[in-house]
Amino acid sequence: MPIIHEPQPETKINLSENGPILEVQNLHFSYPDGHKALNGITLQLQEGHKAALVGPNGSGKSTLMLNIIGILHGSGVRKINGMAITEDNLPLIRSQVGIVFQNPDDQLFSPTVFEDVAFGPLHMGCSEDETRQRVIEALAMVNMSEYINRLSYHLSMGEKKRVAIATVLSMKPDLIILDEPSAGLDPRARRSLINLMNELPQTLLVATHDLLLVREILPRTIILDEGLVVADAATEEILKNTHLLENHGLELPV
């Protein structure tokens, strides 16, 4: 059956074509119980960058990611496509930044794969036809087209991770954040996931402990420790610096 593409209305504001997709300046954040998780984070991501976010547990990676999508609100500058994150423009921000959480069972909360991938576009205001179209495209991008009517709880970990990525792809964000994507995957599923991430056209920020993955597909590495950016450079340089890695609880597998 032929699929008819409808012209998409412009929903995004690109204030500057050459500006960074993500801009964070001097971001501080403390949890209600007093724990200060971010101590002045500054970083920038240009369009098309694929960057790794590494650091020991407790370094603030999750807190930073939740700040970037506006679930947590620290003090400091946070801009997506030149637009500052405020309480009012959160829905717009979330149409431009997608996050794939670590545990796919938290991300796949609908009974069927179709409904999960449709959730984002539907809540963005897409029509029923537009939504269906996006679901089909997103599942095709992650090679899970035949799973469209499957029940989410039946899937394997690797399959769930792919569908979780599809749930974000269907929203067509500019920036995708992934939290420990390769955790818990067997070698085959991991390989297939790495290949998939390599093919994604979006700007990526990947929080991970998997330094082999970083070396393979992420040209830039940002090291976070105790709420601060301690290094931000080309992956090659950083991974050669064993002293730096050790200091921040990292180890490159041989």
Give the binding-site size for another protein (rule: CB under 8 A). Answer: 34
Q: How far is the CB of 156 from another protein (least distance, A)?
A: 12
Q: Which of 91, 198, 237, 246 binds another protein (CB under 8 A)?
A: 91
Q: Which of 37, 168, 193, 197 binds another protein (CB under 8 A)?
A: 168
- Cα torsion 67, 71, 74, 76: sign: positive
Regarding 99 and contact with another protein (CB under 8 A), the answer is yes
Regarding 86 and contact with another protein (CB under 8 A), the answer is no
Q: State the Cα–Cα distance between residues 192 and 214, nearest whole angstrom.
A: 15
CA dihedral 236, 238, 242, 244 (to 10 degrees): 180
Residue 63's H or E segment, with its range, is helix 61-68
Regarding 81 and contact with another protein (CB under 8 A), the answer is no
Single out the segment in contact with another protein by CB under 8 A; choices: 17-25, 38-46, 119-127, 215-223: 119-127
Regarding 120 and contact with another protein (CB under 8 A), the answer is yes
Q: Using the structure block, give the residue that is written with the tokens 């036809």.
A: 129
- Do β-strands 97-100 and 22-30 pair in parallel, antiparallel, or remain unpaired? unpaired
Query: What Å distances lie between residue 249 and 43, 54, 56, CA to CA?
Result: 21, 10, 6
Query: Could you tell me which residues come within 8 angstroms of residue 254 by beta carbon, excluding any fewer than 6 positions away?
Result: none
Residues 131-150 that bind another protein (CB under 8 A): 131
Q: Which of 12, 73, 123, 191 binds another protein (CB under 8 A)?
A: 123
> In the complex, which residues of this chain contact another protein (CB under 8 A)?
66, 69, 71, 91, 94-95, 98-99, 101, 103, 105-112, 115, 118-120, 122-124, 127-128, 131, 151-153, 167-168, 171
